Chains A and B, each alone.
Chain A
Amino acid sequence: MFFNYIGGIFKGIKTLLTGMKVTSSYFFRPSKIVTQKYPENRKELKMFDSFKGEVILTHNENNEHKCTGCGICEINCPNGSIEIVSMFITTEDGKKKKAIDKHIYHLGMCTFCALCVKTCPSNALDFGKDFEQAVFDRARLTKILNKEGSKLMKGVE
């Protein structure tokens, strides 16, 4: 009984000391620090290729995109964060054709489920790698993805 009492005390102290050893060992090993200084290391921060940032419409150097305005991304989006405003243009050979006027994307409603990117028949959409999406005004979360004056890439139907 008495020895149990004394033994209990020593056993308890031993377990406490092992715990203290762990924390103390980290204190004396600053090389184990894992946190980073964020704004300073902005240049080194590279997101993975598959990172799902905002949805973007890829444009090539001639300011051309692949979006035909078919609206499949709009149908597939579960939150209604994509709106496509289409228009009809007359092509060179005089035919009327559907094309996008505006590809509106509401970043604030997007849940990054990747259904739009995956289902796009002409692979026009992609995910941006920008991870700093904070803005001061909610209105700025609504973006128009097709750039000013851009047109459909040749050969994409």
Chain B
Amino acid sequence: MPFDIYDLSTFTHWIDTSLRAGMSPFWAVFTEFVLVGVVFLAFYAVVGLFLVYAERRICAFMQCRLGPNRVGPGGIFQTIADLIKLLFKELIYIKNADKILFNIAPFIVIIASFLALAAIPFGKGLQAMDFNIGIFYVVAVSSIGVIGILLAGWSSNSKYSLIGALRSGAQIISYELSVGLSLIVIVILAGTMQLSEIVEMQRDGWFIFTGHLPAVIAFIIFMIASTAEINRGPFDLAEAESELTAGFHTEYSGIKFAFFFLAEYMNMFIVASIAATVFWGGWMPLHIGSWEGFNHAMDFIPPFIWYLGKTAVIIYLIMLFKWTFPRLRIDQLLTLEWKYLLPVNLFNVLLMAFIVLKGWHF
């Protein structure tokens, strides 16, 4: 296989063996943990800052504006300047706020998004933890974030925050169902929950092509439900700028606000990664049937680029949703989930199970 030249598992194995040769297994694992942690921390910061910049630029173009263009070439350092500004800002403490919960909340939100990163395959052999229940892990971990949001709203001692948090609670808990079920459709098709294997199975064709109609429906539902789950427009009821000013993070300032902000963008990145991995083949190049030359040419594009490209397209779609649609109302939001997405989803699971049983998929 030509794309094995980009296989990074030999490299990671080499690090592992050389570490284990030098020290006891405990310290070797510990060092690996620290290494991975540092790499992810850097990755997290870079991607988060870049996404904030990208969103501001993309929405500016959609709105016939230029967007940030002052700091650095094309305004690329704008978010870094913003971050520095936020770092210097005063952390305002609210009278009668529950101090402990108030301070913990942003960390819970950011840790939840941080944990989910661990299971995502960025390239061949480039995955921190290859769980055999990868999908389940991501879904489980990313739903911890809602606790942070609820705590933030509750502890702020502000009525706007509380309404925002309660909306967010109702919203995320309902949409978790749809996210899970649409992923189950693919799990049925793949027969595994291990993300690396799911990617591997899409070698000859991405699931969105091989899975017939159910996979397409599952993809659409996943996009809708995950947009709702990361609290982005048109489902940004928890923040709802025009109704609740800023919802659950109204009372936060400085770097704590930045945590919420960064976590929102990283959640978007994670959701896009999962969608790309599960439906669009992750880092797998695009292969079309028996077009040998085409397939071969595709293989020479590194997997990491494939992965980033697919993620970027999905992120663009999510941004497009936000900047086009009006916001839904809370009851409509729940109607959409319980009366539309969930029945369609359940039917879809049944359909996919039937197709797989009959062996009609490719």
What is A's interface to B at a CB cutoff of 8 Å?
9, 16, 19-20, 22-24, 26-27, 30, 32-35, 37
Contact = CB atoms under 8 A, between A and B. Distances in A.
B62 A27 contact: yes
B320 A32 contact: no
A30 B340 CA distance: 37
Interface string B335-350: 0000010001000000
A interface: dominant SS: helix
A1 B249 CA distance: 42
6 contacts: A9-B340, A16-B325, A26-B61, A27-B320, A33-B64, A35-B66
Contacts of B321: 20
B64 A37 contact: no
A26 B325 contact: no
A84 B344 CA distance: 79
Interface of B: 58, 61-66, 69, 320-321, 323-325, 340, 344
B61 A30 contact: yes
Nearest 3 pairs between A and B by C-beta? A23-B62, A23-B324, A19-B324
User: B-side binding surface: helix, strand, loop or mixed?
Assistant: helix
A26 B66 contact: no
Nearest to A12: B340
A33 B65 contact: yes
> Which of A22, A35, A37 is the most central at the interface, judged by chain B CB atoms within 10 Å of its CB?
A35
Contact of B64 (A9, A16, A20, A34): A34
Contacts of B65: 33-35
Nearest to B344: A9
B66 A33 contact: yes
A19 B340 CA distance: 21
Contact of B66 (A19, A20, A27, A37): A37
Nearest to A26: B62
Contacts of B61: 26-27, 30, 33
Contacts of A32: 64
Nearest to B317: A20
Contact of B58 (A9, A16, A27, A37): A27
Nearest to B69: A37
Contacts of A19: 324-325
Contacts of B344: 9
B64 A24 contact: no
